[in-house]
């Protein structure tokens, strides 16, 4: 190719200005990376655990925080204010108003041997919170699996100390309380940084092959309790009534006795007073007694006719009033 045929090319010669722009852009990028890697936000339900070169440095609260950039410090966000849960023997597929559960069986978790050598399927929920983020991250490897192992172990131990009737009926609350207490002790001993909030026995049933027999036993026990309650109701209805009637009769007898004694004492006092007056004036007192007695008797006689032995003489005896007797006593008309 001839030299005259080569096209004329304009090659820039100001390389210093280009290098200056590249350096400024690099500095800006480094500053942006530093900002984005040093500023972070912790949620309202979380706490941030900061590690420097893989070693624990500090724990920060919710809000905007800062750390050393370029990966020198890392942050792990732990939900310390959120209530977490672990399910045993079942799984929730969708929570809500109409909660759906998995149809898969988890008999390896739920099937347990009771103290009287019977089998029962126990489904339960562990509700907990992370109380110490540092212990939760660094004291136990895989704390979630550790918590599940602790829960299953403690539940089997507590159920193994109860009869099957206690597990299925009256002992459920006591089992839940005992499991919560023992789990918290183990979590504190292992330094898991977990606080157990509540143990909920979701469902407790006998295994499917023996469920009809258990239902028959429960129905018989319920019928027994019903008959006992009916008998107690009849007892509480009859016995207190009889006791009340007996008490009423005793009180009436005591009242009658007091009344008779008081009346006897009054009559005795009246007789003594009358006798005192009789000693002072015997004739007057006898006449007064006679007239007072006739004043009480004659008003009750009514109209009477008195005849002699032959029926010849008739003497009508008219009704006398108390006033008439008083007039006779005072010397009135005879």
Task: Note down pLDDT in tens along the chain; length 334 residues.
Answer: 444 454 444 544 455 566 667 878 888 888 888 888 888 999 999 999 999 998 999 999 988 898 988 889 999 999 999 999 999 999 998 877 788 888 788 889 999 999 988 888 999 999 999 999 999 999 999 999 999 999 999 999 999 999 988 888 888 999 999 999 999 999 999 999 999 999 999 888 888 887 788 778 778 888 999 999 999 999 998 998 899 999 999 999 999 999 999 999 998 998 888 888 888 888 888 888 888 888 887 777 766 666 666 656 655 555 444 455 444 444 444 3
For residues 138 and 184, is the Cβ–Cβ distance under 8 A?
A: no
What ranges make up the beta strands (E) of 67-185?
Answer: 73-78, 84-88, 92-94, 100-101, 111-113, 119-130
Say how far residue 150 (Cα) sits from the centre of its chain.
29
Residue with tokens 């799984």: 91
Show the CA angle centred on residue 120, arms to residues 116 and 122, nearest 5°.
Answer: 130
Indicate yes or no: pTM above 0.85: no
DSSP state of 141: S
User: In the chain, how long is the greatest CA-to-CA distance?
Assistant: 202
For residues 200 and 124, is the Cβ–Cβ distance under 8 A?
A: yes
| Cβ neighbours for 330, distance < 8 A, ≥ 6 positions apart | none
Residue with tokens 């905007």: 64
Residue 99: what pLDDT? Answer: 81
The structure tokens listed for 274 are 């009358």
Residue 313: what pLDDT? Answer: 60
**Paired sense of beta strands 55-60 and 92-94, if any:** unpaired
Residue 200: what pLDDT? Answer: 94
Residue 15: what pLDDT? Answer: 55
Residue 168: what pLDDT? Answer: 84
Q: What DSSP letter does each residue of 133-147 carry, written as one string?
A: HHHHHHTSSSHHHHH
């Amino acid at each position: 190719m001839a030299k005259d045929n080569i096209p004329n090319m304009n090659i820039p010669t100001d390389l210093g200005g280009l290098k200056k722009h590249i350096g400024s852009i690099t500095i800006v990028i480094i500053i942006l990376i530093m900002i984005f890697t040093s500023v972070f936000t912790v949620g309202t339900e979380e706490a941030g655990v900061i590690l420097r070169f893989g070693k624990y440095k500090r724990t920060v609260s919710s809000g905007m925080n800062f750390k050393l950039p370029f990966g020198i410090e890392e942050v792990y966000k732990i939900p310390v204010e959120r209530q977490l849960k672990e399910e045993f023997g079942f799984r929730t597929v969708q929570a809500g108003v109409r909660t759906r559960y998995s149809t898969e069986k988890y008999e390896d978790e739920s099937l347990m041997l009771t103290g009287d050598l019977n089998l029962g399927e126990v489904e339960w929920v562990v509700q907990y919170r992370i109380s110490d983020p540092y212990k939760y991250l660094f004291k136990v490897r895989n704390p979630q699996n550790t918590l599940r192992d602790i829960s299953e172990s403690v539940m089997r131990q507590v159920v193994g100390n109860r009869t099957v009737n206690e597990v299925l009926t009256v002992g459920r609350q006591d089992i839940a309380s005992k499991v919560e207490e023992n789990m918290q002790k183990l979590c504190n001993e292992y330094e898991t940084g977990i606080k157990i909030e509540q143990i909920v026995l979701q469902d407790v049933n006998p295994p499917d092959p023996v469920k009809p027999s258990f239902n028959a036993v429960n129905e018989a026990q319920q019928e027994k309790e019903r008959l006992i309650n009916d008998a107690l109701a009849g007892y509480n209805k009859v016995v207190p009534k009889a006791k009340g009637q007996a008490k009423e009769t005793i009180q009436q007898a005591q009242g009658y006795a007091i009344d008779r004694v008081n009346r006897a004492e009054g009559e005795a006092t009246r007789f003594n007073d009358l006798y005192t007056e009789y000693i002072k004036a015997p004739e007057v007192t006898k006449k007064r007694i006679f007239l007072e007695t006739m004043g009480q008797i004659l008003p009750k006689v009514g109209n009477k006719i008195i005849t002699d032995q032959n029926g010849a003489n008739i003497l009508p005896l008219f009704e006398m009033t108390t006033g008439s007797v008083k007039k006779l006593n005072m010397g009135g008309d005879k």
